[in-house]
């Protein structure tokens, strides 16, 4: 089964109520641009999930950037997958490198969060990626494949889980690995998924993230085993995000 490509925008800690204008602008650009052979997703901050879900046009899904492992309870400042589902989210990003680095999230915790996402019938986007030091030490595949092995739940399937490879050193820096580098890592991830999940491994979408922009999207999206993009800063402007989606238009 060939994966359905996905172009996802991670807004991180950006966006106010006025940002709904960008959502509406994107919807108009998608309509004007015609059909793209990919799904489109925006993951705004928690404060905008419900409003974006209510306003989102057909063809644009709304997701969230994190969740707690518990369904509810005494967890001040956290949010559950159940709450996100109630707000209208259909995807949740877990294990982003900024969560792993800033909050010390382990593979086990990321897996537990993905399981919480699955329990609500939502799709988990599980992020993996190496730091610059790990890459310079020649440990890219060891690190990334270790994260894949230990962050994905046993019950992961192509319908409830997406893997996103983001080399930490390329996020927001303007630096991008070569397409050969990207293909090498994505192919290794695919092989690991096939080994673990059998034939179903071919159905998992594997996204690339890290300084993706309109000028390099076509080349990156054409690399082997790349099934879409997880986009940071370039997803904040409808025209830039649409320019990346163009990689999936004929």
Active site residue 103: no
Q: Could you say which of 98, 120, 166, 186 is catalytic?
A: 166
Place of tokens 């893997």: 163
Q: Are 5 and 231 in contact (CB under 8 A)?
A: no
Q: Could you say which of 96, 105, 120, 186 is catalytic?
A: 96
Cα 179-232-78 angle, rounded to 5 deg: 130
Q: Are 216 and 176 in contact (CB under 8 A)?
A: yes
- Could you tell me the maximum CA-CA distance found in the chain, to the nearest angstrom? 50
Structure token pair of residue 127: 């992020």
Active site residue 96: yes
Q: For residues 217 and 204, what is the distance between their CA atoms, to the nearest angstrom?
A: 20
List, as one string, the DSSP characters of 46-113.
HHHHHHHHHHPPTTEEEEES--BSSSSSS-TT--BHHHHHHHT--EEEE--HHHHHHS---HHHHHHH
Annotated catalytic residues are: 96, 166
């Amino acid at each position: 089964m060939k994966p359905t490509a996905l172009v996802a925008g991670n807004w991180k800690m950006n966006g106010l109520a006025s940002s709904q204008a960008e959502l509406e602008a994107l919807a108009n650009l998608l309509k004007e641009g015609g059909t793209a052979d990919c799904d489109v997703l925006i993951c705004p901050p928690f404060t905008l999930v419900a409003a974006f879900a209510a306003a989102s046009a057909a063809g644009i899904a709304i997701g969230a950037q994190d969740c707690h492992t518990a369904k509810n309870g005494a967890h001040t400042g956290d949010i559950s997958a159940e709450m996100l589902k109630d707000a209208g989210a259909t995807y949740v990003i877990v294990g982003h490198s900024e969560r792993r680095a800033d909050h010390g999230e382990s593979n086990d915790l990321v897996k537990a969060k993905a399981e919480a996402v699955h329990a609500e019938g939502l799709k988990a986007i599980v992020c993996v990626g190496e730091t610059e030091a790990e890459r310079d030490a020649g440990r890219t595949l060891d690190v990334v494949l270790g994260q894949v092995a230990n962050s994905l739940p046993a019950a992961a399937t192509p319908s409830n889980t997406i893997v996103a490879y983001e080399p930490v050193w390329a996020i927001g820096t303007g630096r991008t690995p070569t397409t050969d580098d990207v293909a090498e890592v994505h192919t290794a991830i695919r092989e690991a998924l096939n080994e673990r999940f059998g034939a179903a491994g071919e159905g998992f979408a594997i996204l690339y993230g890290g300084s993706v922009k309109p000028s390099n999207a076509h080349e990156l999206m054409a690399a082997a085993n790349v099934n879409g993009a997880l986009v940071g800063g370039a997803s904040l402007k409808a025209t830039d995000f649409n320019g990346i989606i163009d990689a999936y238009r004929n």
